Amino acid sequence: MEYRPLGRTGVSVSPLCLGTMMFGPWGNEDTQDSIRIIHAALDAGINFVDTADVYSGGESERIVGEALKGRRDDVVLATKFFMPMSDNPNHGGGSRKWIMRAVEDSLQRLHTDYIDLYQVHRPSADTDVEETLGALSDLVAQGKVRSIGSSSYSASQIVEAQWTARERHLQRFVTEQPPYSLLVRGIEEDVLPTARRHGMGILTYSPLAGGWLSGRWRKDAAGSPTSSARPPARFDMSSPANQRKLDAVEELALLAEDSGMSLVELALAFVIRHPAVTSAIVGPRTMEQLESQLPAAHTVLSDELLDRIDEIVAPGTTINPDDNSYGATELVPSARRR
């Protein structure tokens, strides 16, 4: 497998990153089967693994920790914090108080004494970014964390964090983890070029648009997924926006078929073809799903094929606004009332 530089960290990672959200009660409840899938990914050349404390209430991290015993130093291990882990108001967020507790919990579950990439799962509307960066800088100094990153930060939030790090002499975010797929292309307009200008590595999540590009949901067989990790609104097949997505999926599926590849392969190859993208996070629940995703690491899409994709879904376009991870705080009624 061909490896790529992760921003300017000096670390090289595979173009596909193994996401582990589906390991545990949110997806595959068979721990040993999940471990076999992780081992198969590593054996195929994937050296990048991404998880989060909130996935299945910590069970995903425990499974990853078990799977990496004896192979830990061969893997670039990323995890995330921020999402609430209990009803306690301080068990979540980007505060120093929570970060110092969350990292110890993750280290214990992962059976490791260091995390290669520790990421803020979401920006915080009520926490100064200096507070978050200061705590994370201390963790880097302590050797518990090697590098730090952000997830679902807007372009302006990326710039603010970079400016704060430079101004206050703190560790800076070296990666960003945004949503990106054939159906969710909004980050092409601002987030990707901004992150690229700051030398950040990009590991994109949901490259199959939460299953929309798996080939399972087509116009003649549209059904809703049942995972508790997926917001129902994004899969309401009666909504006009999702009807437009179904139309696009149908065209993309036919394009993939005419090009001699699966829709999954087309979708993943498209994401990792973007010059600003380092790695696409794939989240298999089964071995069959992993095997269907691996060929994309070696698939090259022609310029003609990319042009045809742009005709189906225009660059910078997110077909359904519900798929957008940005503006969750800024666009609530209380924030926009005058």
**pLDDT at res. 226:** 47
**pLDDT at res. 189:** 95
What's at 211, amino acid-wise?
A: G
3-class DSSP assignment, residue 11 = coil
Question: For residue 337, is it within any domain?
Answer: no
**pLDDT at res. 229:** 53
Question: For residue 274, is it within any domain?
Answer: yes
In the chain, how many domains are there?
1
Alpha-carbon distance of 75 to 60, in angstroms, equals 16
Question: For residue 109, is it within any domain?
Answer: yes
Q: Do residues 209 and 244 make contact, with C-beta atoms less than 8 angstroms apart? A: no
**pTM, full prediction:** 0.93
**pLDDT at res. 223:** 57
**pLDDT at res. 66:** 98
3-class DSSP assignment, residue 234 = helix
**pLDDT at res. 332:** 78
Question: For residue 336, is it within any domain?
Answer: no
**pLDDT at res. 34:** 98
Question: For residue 160, is it within any domain?
Answer: yes
Active-site choice (55, 118, 153, 205): 55
Question: For residue 338, is it within any domain?
Answer: no
Q: Is 205 a catalytic residue?
A: no
φ, ψ dihedrals at 293, nearest 5°: -95, -30
Angle at 264 between CA 263 and CA 266, to 5 degrees: 65
Question: For residue 115, is it within any domain?
Answer: yes
Question: For residue 74, is it within any domain?
Answer: yes
**pLDDT at res. 222:** 53
User: Domain range holding 150?
Assistant: 4-331
* Domain of residue 134, CATH code: 3.20.20.100
| DSSP assignment letter at 179 | B
Q: Do residues 51 and 78 make contact, with C-beta atoms less than 8 angstroms apart? A: yes
**pLDDT at res. 235:** 74
58-95 pLDDT per residue, tens: 999 999 999 999 999 999 999 999 999 999 999 999 99
State which residues of the chain have pLDDT below 70.
Answer: 217-233, 338
